[in-house]
Amino acid sequence: RRALEDSMRRNNEVLSSVLDNLPCGLTLFDGAMQLMLHNSRWAQLYALPADFFTGEPVSVDKVAGLMHARREYGEISEAQALEAARQRARDAMQAPHYWERSRPGGLILEMRSAPLPGGGFVTTYTDVSEQRRAAVELAQALALLRAVLDAASQVLIVATDRERRIRVFNRGAELMLGY
C-alpha cells in the first residue's frame, strides 16, 4: 500500500510540474461546472488572488462573479454575467470552442475549450496580445505603403518575386502602361 501511495504522490508531482510549466493557462471543469484542475499560469493571466482558491469550491459561477465584480463583462447585471458564463460552459461540454477576450491592461487571451468524455471541459488560455498588436501594426504599415504607392502616380513602380510574378503594381504603372 505504501508503494502505491508513493507512486501516486510521484505521479501527482510530475503532473503538477507539467501543468505549471505549460506556456498557457489551463483549466478543467467537471460536468457540474466545478473547477477540478488548473495551473498557475491561468491564475496569473486572470490575476486571481491567492484566497480565491480557499473557502467555497471554485466554480464557473465563482469565476464569472469575480470577472463581473471587476467589470470585465461590461455593463451587464451579475445575473446576466452568470448566465452567459454558464451557457458558455454548457456549450463547451458539447463541442470545441474558440474565442478571444480583452482584459484590462491590454491583455488579449485566446481561449480554446473542448468537451471531456463523461462531462466537463478543458480550456487553454494563451496570451496573444503581442501577436494581435503586431498584426495591427503590419496592417497599418501595409496601408501606408499602399497609400504611398498610389500617391506616386507620376512614376512606375512594379515589383516582382523570384518567379517574375508581379507582386506590387502602383497607380503610376497602371496609368503609364494602360492597365
Q: Give the per-residue pLDDT at 153.
A: 76
Kindly list the distances between the CA atom of residue 76 and the CA atoms of 18, 65, 68, 69, 91, in Å, as whole numbers in the listed order: 37, 12, 8, 11, 21
Q: Give the per-residue pLDDT at 69.
A: 94
pLDDT for 126 beyond 80 = yes
Query: Which DSSP string do the residues of 29-96 spell out, in sequence order?
Result: E-TTSBEEEE-HHHHHHTT--GGGGSSSPPBHHHHHHHHHHTTTT-S--HHHHHHHHHHHHHHHTTS-
Q: How confident is the model at residue 169 (pLDDT cuts 50, 70, 90)?
A: confident
CB under 8 Å to 40, separation ≥6 — which residues? 19, 20
Kindly list the distances between the CA atom of residue 49 and the CA atoms of 44, 82, 135, in Å, as whole numbers in the listed order: 9, 20, 32
pLDDT mean over 46-71: 93
> From CA 46, how far away is CA 131, in angstroms rounded?
19
Tell me which of 108-112, 129-133, 144-148, 175-179 is least confident. 175-179
- In sign, the C-alpha dihedral spanning 24, 30, 32, 35 is negative
pLDDT for 131 beyond 80 = yes
Cell output for 51: 484566497
Q: Which residue has the higher pLDDT, 131 or 149?
A: 131
pLDDT per residue over 65-115, tens digit each? 999 999 988 889 999 999 999 999 999 999 999 999 998 888 999 999 999
pLDDT for 4 beyond 90 = no
Q: How confident is the model at residue 1 (pLDDT cuts 50, 70, 90)?
A: confident
